[in-house]
């Protein structure tokens, strides 16, 4: 017997024989902030789509406006890029200032690499290079704290990095994961999270970065190109599973009022 639409809102309610109506929940999109013309949300975007969210992609560097409120979004992700949170460019300063919006509205915000550095700077922390000019380019170990395990229990022991700067732990923020050369690897402040590493990187992105930006592989502390791929074979499955669990838990922090509005 075919499904019979319910009276009224036939688009969102389905009737099954002998069962109560089932309402198809419409999820709010996630705001995606990118910093280069050819950048993509990579694996983060793939996971968010799999969880049922659309992606609202914006590139403020190229003139896209950022919303005055996140009432129409489930959350926001600010991705990485070759620029620095310390750069004087207007779009960088404007983006850091905009982070005050999700902080004030207590909406889920995730910063990845540069995005995490912008979040840390908005919260008053210092962003700076390593004192010995060391970098993290490749897979490096991270150690989740007790707070990190409480947020998401199944952390990978190695994650992918591509950065020359790090950040201090903002005041009142919780340290979720730590490392060696760059001690602050992940933190939480209310509904906002910062990750120094790159769980968003796909296999194709890794090929692109290690080819197009291969000069980074010569910097102090960087791993050679072949190690990126051999280490990926060892660590990627765990990092991929962690990412899906983390993003699902992160979006569960969406305020109940917004969840109700999305289902109306």
Q: Is pLDDT above 70 for 20?
A: no
Cα angle 33, 202, 145; round to 5: 75
Q: Which domain holds residue 112?
A: 23-259
In a domain, 121, yes or no: yes
Mean pLDDT for all residues in the chain: 89
Q: Partners of 22 in the beta sheet?
A: 14
Which pLDDT tens digit goes with each residue over 176-225? 999 999 999 999 999 999 999 999 999 999 999 999 999 999 999 999 99
Q: For residues 72 and 161, what is the distance between their CA atoms, to the nearest angstrom?
A: 32
Residue 3 lies in a domain: no
Instruction: Give domain status of residue 212, yes or no.
Output: yes
* Inter-residue contact 136 to 220 (CB < 8 Å): no
Strands of the sheet containing 4-5, edge to edge, are 4-5, 13-15, 22-23
pLDDT at position 252 is: 87
Q: Is residue 161 part of a domain?
A: yes
What is the average pLDDT across 79-89? 96
Q: What band does 26 get if pLDDT is binned at 50, 70 and 90?
A: confident
* Residue 7: inside a domain: no
The predicted model scores a pTM of 0.87
User: Average pLDDT in the 223-252 region?
Assistant: 97
**CATH code at 123?**
3.40.50.880
Domain count, the chain: 1
| Domain assignment of residue 13, yes or no | no
- How does pLDDT run across 124-178, given as a tens digit for each residue? 999 999 999 999 999 999 999 999 999 999 999 999 999 999 999 999 999 999 9
Q: Are 30 and 57 in contact (CB under 8 A)?
A: no
Tell whether 216 is covered by a domain: yes
Rounded Cα gap, residues 173 and 182, in angstroms: 17
Range from 12-16, 25-29, 187-191, 220-224 carrying the lowest mean pLDDT = 12-16
Give the largest Cα separation in the chain, rounded: 70
Residue 72 has pLDDT above 80, yes or no: yes
Tokens of 71: 């009432």
| Structural domain includes residue 18 | no
Mean pLDDT on 250-255: 76
């Amino acid at each position: 017997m075919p499904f019979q639409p319910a009276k009224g809102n036939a688009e969102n309610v389905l009737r099954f024989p002998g069962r109560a109506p089932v309402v198809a929940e419409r999820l709010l999109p996630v705001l995606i902030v990118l910093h280069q013309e050819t950048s993509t949300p990579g694996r983060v975007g793939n996971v968010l789509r799999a969880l049922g969210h659309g992606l609202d992609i914006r590139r403020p560097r190229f003139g896209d406006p950022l919303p005055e409120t996140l009432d129409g979004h489930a959350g926001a992700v600010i991705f990485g890029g070759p620029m620095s949170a310390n750069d004087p460019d207007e779009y960088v300063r404007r983006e850091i200032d905009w982070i005050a919006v999700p902080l004030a509205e207590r909406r889920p915000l995730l910063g990845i690499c540069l995005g995490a550095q912008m979040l840390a700077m908005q919260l008053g922390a210092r962003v700076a290079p390593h004192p010995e000019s060391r970098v993290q380019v490749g897979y490096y170990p991270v150690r989740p704290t007790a707070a990190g395990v409480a947020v998401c229990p199944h952390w990978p022991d190695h994650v992918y990095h591509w950065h020359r700067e790090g950040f201090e732990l903002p005041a009142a923020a919780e340290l979720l994961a730590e490392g060696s050369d760059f001690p602050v690897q992940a933190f939480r402040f209310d509904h906002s999270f910062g990750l120094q590493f790159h769980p968003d990187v796909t296999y194709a992105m890794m090929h692109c970065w290690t080819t197009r930006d291969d000069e980074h592989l010569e910097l102090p502390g960087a791993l050679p190109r072949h190690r990126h791929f051999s280490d990926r074979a060892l660590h990627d499955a765990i990092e991929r599973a962690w990412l899906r669990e983390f993003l699902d838990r992160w979006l569960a922090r969406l305020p109940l009022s917004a969840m109700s509005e999305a289902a109306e």
